[in-house]
Amino acid sequence: MDIVSLFFQQLINGLSKGGIYALIALGYTMVYGIIKLINFAHGDILMVGAYIAYFVFAAWGFTPGSIFVAVLFAVAGSVLLGISIEATCYRPMRSAPRINALITAIGVSIFLENFPRLIPAIGPNYRDLTVPKLFETIHIGEVSIDPLKLLTLVVSLVLMTLLILIVDYSKAGKAMRAVSFDMGASALMGISVNRTVSFTFALGSALAGIGGVLYMLNFPLLDTYMGIMPGLKAFVAAVLGGIGSIPGAILGGLRLGIAEALTAGFISSKVMDFVVFGFLILILLLKPSGLLGVHRKEKV
């Protein structure tokens, strides 16, 4: 395949995967913005969403109805899980040193990844799903476009737009922004900090859940550890875009997806991870506030 075609092929692949990364990255960035916590367990919400959808499809096959139910259940499950985790594990940590909260998040992540493996119904084995070809592949020259990837991208973009609308124009969104800026002052202004934080987690988890469904449709190999890599990469994306910044997370996710795909296409897929982490470290060293973020100094 000539270079231009390869470029476009990977560009589309990258945008599609990047869209999923962006959805996850949004969860990271919102949570960090509001309680200054890197939610290590966020990637695992993706896994939960994927598994819920898997079970729906395993039971009812692939119909428009089952797809709807799968997404519905995945979102519901993810939101419930996200809110519960916040309430039980992170809320007590709000006044604790940041190191403690970080360690708690790691603990939650490990628990989420391994507990399902004990349940015989889920178990430690891989599961795969034969996703029927829902659409015909489109061919433009040498480039073959799987409409599923396009659909994934479109869905991601729609959701991102919805999120921005919520954050910028709704009352709850305003509360989120207020609490992110100054938790104490917001409380004094009558905003329920707990409810706002829960809402933030709910939004982030919902996006991660749907991201999980999309991921599972594109890469139908399930395992309880499946959320680790995408989660880590999405986190890198969020940091690159400036942790705490929503447009940053979106752009970061898309950029990362494209960078990954281009590396895989032009160099080798083995170095993919290397490039991703290398990029992260480079950015952190050169510009700790990421590419769009806010870096606030401690008051002495």
Partner 1 sequence: MKNLRSTLLIFVVAALGFGALQALIVAEILDDYTLQILCVAGINVLMALSLNLISGFTGQLALGHAGFMAVGAYTTGVLLVQAHWLLFPALVAGGLMTALFGLLIGIPTLRLRGDYLAIVTLGFGEIIRVAINNFDEILRWAFNSPDMVGWTGGPTGLSGIPGYATNIMVNNPAAFLWIYPIVVLSVVLVMNLIRSSHGRALVAIREDEISAQAMGINLFGMKLTSFTISAFLAGLGGALYAPFIGYLSPPGFDFLRSVFFVIIVVLGGMGSITGTVIAGIGLTFLQEFLRTSAKDAGNGLVVLIQQNLFPSTISAGAWSVDLVPLSQVLFGLILILLMIFRPGGLMGTRELPLTRWLTTPWWRKKESLP
Binding site for partner 1 (CB under 8 A): 36, 38, 89, 92-93, 96, 98-104, 106-115, 117-118, 120, 123-124, 228, 232, 235-236, 239, 270-271, 273-274, 277-278, 280-281, 284-285, 288, 298, 300
Residue 138 — φ and ψ, nearest 5°? -95, 135
Q: Which two three-digit tokens encode residue 71?
A: 């997404």
Pick the closer one to partner 1 by CB: 243 or 250.
243
Least distance (Å) between residue 214 CB and partner 1: 24
Cβ distance 49 to 210 under 8 Å?
yes
Least distance (Å) between residue 46 CB and partner 1: 17
Pick the closer one to partner 1 by CB: 43 or 265.
43
Q: Is the dihedral of CA 216, 221, 224, 230 positive or negative?
A: negative
Cβ distance 18 to 196 under 8 Å?
no
Rg (CA), the chain: 19
Least distance (Å) between residue 289 CB and partner 1: 10
Least distance (Å) between residue 1 CB and partner 1: 24
Pick the closer one to partner 1 by CB: 70 or 222.
222
> CA-CA-CA-CA torsion for 172, 178, 184, 190, nearest 10 degrees?
-40
Pick the closer one to partner 1 by CB: 161 or 268.
268
Least distance (Å) between residue 238 CB and partner 1: 11
Which residue in 216, 203, 266, 211 sits closest to 234, CA to CA? 211
Least distance (Å) between residue 86 CB and partner 1: 13
Q: Where are the beta strands (DSSP E) in 58-129?
A: 127-128
Cβ distance 275 to 282 under 8 Å?
no
Pick the closer one to partner 1 by CB: 129 or 232.
232
Least distance (Å) between residue 296 CB and partner 1: 10
- The position carrying tokens 């809110």 is 83
Query: Cα 272 to the chain's mean position, in Å?
Result: 19
Q: Is the dihedral of CA 50, 56, 57, 62 positive or negative?
A: negative
Q: Which two three-digit tokens encode residue 68?
A: 């709807």
Pick the closer one to partner 1 by CB: 114 or 137.
114
Which stretches within the chain are classed as H helix? 3-35, 42-60, 64-85, 98-118, 147-169, 171-181, 183-188, 193-218, 228-240, 246-266, 272-286
Pick the closer one to partner 1 by CB: 109 or 196.
109
